[in-house]
Amino acid sequence: MYDSLSGRLARMEAAVRTLIKGLGEDVEREGLVDTPKRVAKAFMDVTCGYSEDVKSLIGSALFNEDTVDSRNAGIVLVRDIDFASTSERTLMPFHGRAHIAYIPSAGVVLGLSKLARITRCFSKRLQSPHRLCAEIASAFLAYVPCSGVAVVLEARHLSPAESPERHVAASIAGVFQQEGSHELEELSAMLGLDNLASVALPVDTLVSCASGNGVCTPVDRAASLHLAPQTPGGSEKESSTDGDESDVTMEGSDTPEMMEAAVSTLLRELLGAYTINEAFRTTARRYVNCLIASTSGYQQKLPTLGQTARRTDAGNITDSEGSIVGGEAPVSLNAWDALVTRCSSCCGQRDALAGSNGFARAPHLATPVHCCQQNSLECSTADLPKNSWSTCTALHASGRVCTVLQATLPFRSQCEHHMLPFYGRCHVAVLTPALSPGAASMDDMHGVVAAFTHRLQVQERITQQVADAVAELHGVPTGDDGLDAGGVMVVVDATHMCMVARGVENHAGATMSVAVRGCFGGACELRRHVLQQARMAMPRTQH
């Protein structure tokens, strides 16, 4: 039996504080002081579907329709039902659109709004895309007379282990499941999904994303987790204060285990008896690894002006003197080092997880490494940016024609208010100073973006920090000293899971933020030109 709601929330908040401290952050700074409460309530919200009854959701919304003849009934398709759910494998969100098709029988149809309610009920649970499809379809078969049902999801999984592209999952039953089904072919045509038949699984095949062997994700955490630097900015506190007595002190190799125990506490308070499900047994470890991967930028070393970056045979980025830049630093005992140690003990993958020079690999350079026991994550490099600047010309108010260098870099970050991912693109425009040796390399630019996005963050801060770093890298002054002094403009466009997964559930929304340095500050025509270029480079296809 659960005790009081306040008691459950208090234990969950203490667990979240343990996670934040394990990541090396100050739980008492302004941006994080209320985060434990927000995260605890958020977890309760994304699992509220366990307490909902599908039969009561449908209620009396089954209507007799004599014109619907069972022998000639066609497909009824409700498409583009927005949803957001939480992975049973990683506790990270996945979201997208659901399409539900059925063929009525017995002259009965279901009120269309109920399809969205059923989808929401099952999405507000720990799920995998295939399981979510199957549970929606199973509920439909149980309560709605039909000769066939098909549930199709187009979803994007926001985990460091997953590629950013949408993936399709589908569950089918009845006439849709029959071999050579014409109904399935028709549904495929209606949705414009040519590969539907190849991904559709029978409704009784519950595919758990938690099954099978996994891999360990290389994570760049170079210094002790309790040494994450204070986030700069006037809104942040200059010094930290002690947490309450429920907080714990974590040192060295015990850190990952204590963080995993905190996640287990969250699951126990949320789900009770449900946590005995086999799918949840390694979820805590995967979630901790995801958090570590998404906060690997705290200790990342930024490139400096005049550095000539190059890739080594091992994949590291070095400057002209051979020193590693873009995120490499000596490994010490922290959550990542302990993870590497555990991999060494279970399958001897320490040398593969850490570079041969003893440095942890940067997330954007890492290659997938299989681990026989950790059953964790796979690092994806599918969202690496192209390896060169694009150029365009713009007319300044003075009559001079300017050549502006531009690059659009994909990113994922972790909201410090809700500890949920947000993702999108960072568009950087540079007008190099007259005496500049040239533009920084794409490796450097990606390293700059990764350094500030792989943290607990807010989008507005990322935009300003990237602008400052790129300006410093190119020798651009903060103020407007004229065209010859150069300029930098940064435009960030992102989708936030805190806007999708709860509250207003604004699935179509996105947030854009802008920062300018140097000559862009006094040149509205240049800013307008870059914004137009950014809109073309960042089409609204992220949702």
CATH number for the domain including 407?
3.30.1130.10
Q: Considering the domain boundaries, does residue 282 fall inside one?
A: no
Q: Considering the domain boundaries, does residue 223 fall inside one?
A: no
For 90, the 3-state DSSP assignment is: coil
Of the candidates 105, 160, 541, 145, the one whose C-alpha atom is nearest the C-alpha of residue 381 is 160
Q: Any residues with CB less than 8 A from the CB of 378 and at least 6 apart, and which? A: 161, 214, 215, 217, 368
For 216, the 3-state DSSP assignment is: strand
Angle, CA 513 vertex, CA 511 and CA 515 arms, to 5°: 170
Q: Considering the domain boundaries, does residue 174 fall inside one?
A: yes
The 10 Å Cβ neighbour count of residue 238 is 6
Separation between Cα atoms, residue 226 and residue 234, nearest integer Å: 22
Q: Considering the domain boundaries, does residue 467 fall inside one?
A: yes
Report the Cα–Cα distance between both ends of the chain, in Å, rounded. Answer: 39
Q: Considering the domain boundaries, does residue 312 fall inside one?
A: no
Residue 186 CA, chain-centre distance (Å), reads 34
Q: H or E stretch including 264?
A: helix 255-271
For 384-417, b/e burial (b = at least 16 CB within 10 A) is ebeeebeeeebeeeeeeebebbbbbbbbbbbbbb
Write the Ramachandran bin of 177: left for phi over 0, alpha for psi from -120 to 50, otherwise beta.
alpha
Q: Considering the domain boundaries, does residue 212 fall inside one?
A: no
- Cα 130 to Cα 75, 202, 235, 262, distances in angstroms: 22, 10, 43, 28
Single pTM value for the model: 0.76
The tokens of 511 are what? 């947030």
φ and ψ at residue 169, rounded to 5 degrees: -130, 150
* Residue finishing a domain among 165, 181, 202: 202
Q: Any residues with CB less than 8 A from the CB of 53 and at least 6 apart, and which? A: none
The 10 Å Cβ neighbour count of residue 506 is 13
Q: Considering the domain boundaries, does residue 290 fall inside one?
A: no
* Residue finishing a domain among 161, 178, 202: 202
Q: Are strands 487-496 and 511-518 parallel, antiparallel or unpaired?
A: antiparallel
Separation between Cα atoms, residue 475 and residue 466, nearest integer Å: 14
Write the Ramachandran bin of 385: left for phi over 0, alpha for psi from -120 to 50, otherwise beta.
beta
Q: What is the pLDDT of residue 435?
A: 76
φ and ψ at residue 531, rounded to 5 degrees: -65, -40
Q: Considering the domain boundaries, does residue 181 fall inside one?
A: yes
- Cα 235 to Cα 33, 228, 378, 461, 516, distances in angstroms: 12, 17, 36, 11, 20
Angle, CA 129 vertex, CA 123 and CA 130 arms, to 5°: 115
Residue 117 CA, chain-centre distance (Å), reads 25
Q: What is the pLDDT of residue 69?
A: 72
Q: What is the pLDDT of residue 279?
A: 58
Of the candidates 100, 106, 168, the one whose C-alpha atom is nearest the C-alpha of residue 137 is 100
Of the candidates 470, 448, 120, the one whose C-alpha atom is nearest the C-alpha of residue 301 is 448
φ and ψ at residue 96, rounded to 5 degrees: 165, -140
Separation between Cα atoms, residue 475 and residue 410, nearest integer Å: 24
Q: Are strands 421-431 and 324-325 parallel, antiparallel or unpaired?
A: unpaired
Separation between Cα atoms, residue 87 and residue 469, nearest integer Å: 35
Q: With DSSP H G I counted as helix, E B as strand and the rest as coil, what are the percentages for the chain, rounded to 5?
A: 35, 20, 40
The tokens of 273 are what? 């008896």
The DSSP symbol for 124 reads S
Separation between Cα atoms, residue 289 and residue 168, nearest integer Å: 25
Q: What is the pLDDT of residue 162?
A: 66
Q: What is the pLDDT of residue 387?
A: 61
* Residue finishing a domain among 173, 202, 231: 202
What does R_g of the chain's alpha carbons equal in angstroms? 25
How many structural domains does the chain have? 2
pLDDT in tens, the chain (543 residues): 456 888 999 999 999 999 999 999 999 999 999 999 999 999 999 999 999 999 999 988 999 988 887 667 799 999 999 999 999 989 999 999 999 999 999 889 999 999 999 999 999 999 999 999 999 999 999 999 999 999 999 998 887 766 667 889 999 999 999 989 999 999 999 999 998 999 999 998 754 433 333 322 222 223 233 334 444 443 333 333 333 434 444 555 568 889 999 999 999 998 876 665 655 668 999 999 999 988 989 888 888 755 544 433 333 444 444 444 443 333 233 443 444 344 433 433 333 333 333 333 333 333 333 333 333 322 233 333 456 899 888 888 788 888 899 999 999 999 999 999 999 999 999 999 987 778 899 999 999 999 999 999 999 999 999 999 999 999 999 888 888 899 999 999 998 988 776 655 777 778 999 999 999 998 998 999 999 999 988 876 444
Q: What is the pLDDT of residue 502?
A: 64
The DSSP symbol for 361 reads P
Residues spanned by the domain of 144:
48-202
